[in-house]
């Protein structure tokens, strides 16, 4: 496998980019080596600057659910581009995408589009504080909600990968109103609610995707919803990763709960920078210009991004790929577990819909603590063997793999062969 051009670009990028990247996970620090630079993509494949071909299980960390360069989505973007790129004024596309999104989420009357998941979440928290008059929020260890100051504590994948417990530059005052509870542990939530009377919201990923894929137990998630209602605390469900990935709508509906505020991103933009937060009228009418909670954005509702999002969601609704995703994820789980058994590698596999994640551990992974029992050195060996055999994975033990509608039987056969070689390499490295 050649990586000469990636090395050349990495070396050149170090001069004017921080670590030659614009997002830390791309630096490959947890797996060693240099970042792979990508040149193009099509369907289920992605190609690097050295012309290596990979089956893409990263999918830009989720948005490319239809695969790369879907024809209808691409045509919609080209058509929108001919009219201009941004106007700083309202367009019909914003209304059309808002209607699709609100219809897909029973607990949403109105939505506000922003430019990223981080922006959606920080706005949702501001809204919860404005609506309740309280300041404190509860988040769960290992759940990542973007890089805003108040949430960069016990924040999952990026920080876990780099072994950073928080972030320098975040003052104590910024996190003094952030309380931490343990995922799948309702008693830890009750403890915080008993101790603090001024809690505005609890925020949660309905399916944790930044400490690996971890589902909440049915009892935990339903009791969390009951508990927040009893104490007049808003429940913010961060569906930036899960929105439209497991059904046409949100994971919260599959889990039998309804959020007070829902945050979205990734699939909603179809590959363009889009985030969103939405709720019932009573809450959303607190947002400016209807209310006094101020939030704005020059490129929010960008016409190109709206066109891409609309086309993506229309194609998803038409294809309805969710049962097939479940079947494919089950097949990949079997591939992983069978290979691990053959080569005597300790492995757990968690999945939900079109998200899947292996952990190199004996322990059942149910929260951040058990996720961290995974042997990251084994993942590093596995990662590079998968790369060498044409499967592109997230360069972090704690990031979900994602499936697209373009993944086919030929791809699955290649994934199976790569996994077998990867597990063999892990087994051999363990004996050294």
As annotated, the active-site residues are 144, 238, 266
* One-character DSSP codes across 386-419: HHHTTEE--SSTTS-EE--TT--HHHHHHHHHHH
- In whole angstroms, give the CA distance from residue 44 to residue 410: 11
304, with CB counted inside 10 A (0-12, 13-18, 19+), is buried
Three-state DSSP state, 264: strand
Q: In what order do the strands lie in the sheet with 391-392?
A: 38-42, 45-48, 53-56, 391-392
Give residue for tokens 């009573």.
282
CB 18 within 8 Å of CB 25: no
Structure tokens at 35: 């970042």
Its sign, for the CA torsion 408, 412, 413, 417, is positive
User: Using CA atoms in the order 307, 308, 313, 319, what is the torsion angle rounded to 10 degrees?
Assistant: 120
Give residue for tokens 């607190």.
286
Note the Cα 149 to chain centre separation in Å: 19
* One-character DSSP codes across 150-204: GG-SS--HHHHHTT-SS-TT--HHHHTTEEEE-TT-HHHHHHHHHH-S-EEEEEE
- In whole angstroms, give the CA distance from residue 13 to residue 290: 45
- In whole angstroms, give the CA distance from residue 93 to residue 212: 34
Structure tokens at 47: 């190609």
Q: In what order do the strands lie in the sheet with 355-359?
A: 348-352, 355-359, 401-402
């Amino acid at each position: 496998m050649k990586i000469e051009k990636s090395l050349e670009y990495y070396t050149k990028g170090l001069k004017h980019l921080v670590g030659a990247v614009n997002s830390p996970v791309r630096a490959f620090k947890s797996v060693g080596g240099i970042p792979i630079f990508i040149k193009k993509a099509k369907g289920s494949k992605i190609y690097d600057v050295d012309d290596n071909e990979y089956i893409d299980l990263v999918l830009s960390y989720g948005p490319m659910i239809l695969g790369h360069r879907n024809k209808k989505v691409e045509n919609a973007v080209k058509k929108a581009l001919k009219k201009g790129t941004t106007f700083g004024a309202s367009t019909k596309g914003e209304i059309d995408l808002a209607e699709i999104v609100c219809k897909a989420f029973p607990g949403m009357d109105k939505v506000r589009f922003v430019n990223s998941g981080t922006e959606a979440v920080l706005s949702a928290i501001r809204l919860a504080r404005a609506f309740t008059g309280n300041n404190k929020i509860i988040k769960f260890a290992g759940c990542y909600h973007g890089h805003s100051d108040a949430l960069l504590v016990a924040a999952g994948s990026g920080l876990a990968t780099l072994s950073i417990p928080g972030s320098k530059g975040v003052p104590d005052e910024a996190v003094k109103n952030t309380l931490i509870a343990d995922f799948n542990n309702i008693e830890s939530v009750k403890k915080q609610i008993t101790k603090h009377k001024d809690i505005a919201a609890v925020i949660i990923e309905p399916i944790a995707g930044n400490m690996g894929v971890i589902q909440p137990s049915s009892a935990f998630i339903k009791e969390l919803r009951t508990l927040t209602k009893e104490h007049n605390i808003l429940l913010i469900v961060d569906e930036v990763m899960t929105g439209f990935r497991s059904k046409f709508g949100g994971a919260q509906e599959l889990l039998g709960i309804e959020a007070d505020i829902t945050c979205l991103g990734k699939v909603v933009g179809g590959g363009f920078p889009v985030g969103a937060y939405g709720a019932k009228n009573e809450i959303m009418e607190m947002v400016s210009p209807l209310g006094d909670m101020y939030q704005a954005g020059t490129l929010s509702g960008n016409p190109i991004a709206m066109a891409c999002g609309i086309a993506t969601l229309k194609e998803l609704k038409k294809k309805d790929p969710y049962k097939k995703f479940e079947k494919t994820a089950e097949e990949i789980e079997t591939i992983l577990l069978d290979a691990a058994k053959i080569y005597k590698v300790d492995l757990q596999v968690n999945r939900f819909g079109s998200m899947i994640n292996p952990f190199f551990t004996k322990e059942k992974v149910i929260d951040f603590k058990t996720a961290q029992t995974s042997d990251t050195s084994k993942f590093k060996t596995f990662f590079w063997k998968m790369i060498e055999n044409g499967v592109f994975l997230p360069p972090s033990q704690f990031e979900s793999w994602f499936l697209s509608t373009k993944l086919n039987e030929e791809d699955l056969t290649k994934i199976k062969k790569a996994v077998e070689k990867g597990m063999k390499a892990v087994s051999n490295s363990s004996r050294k």
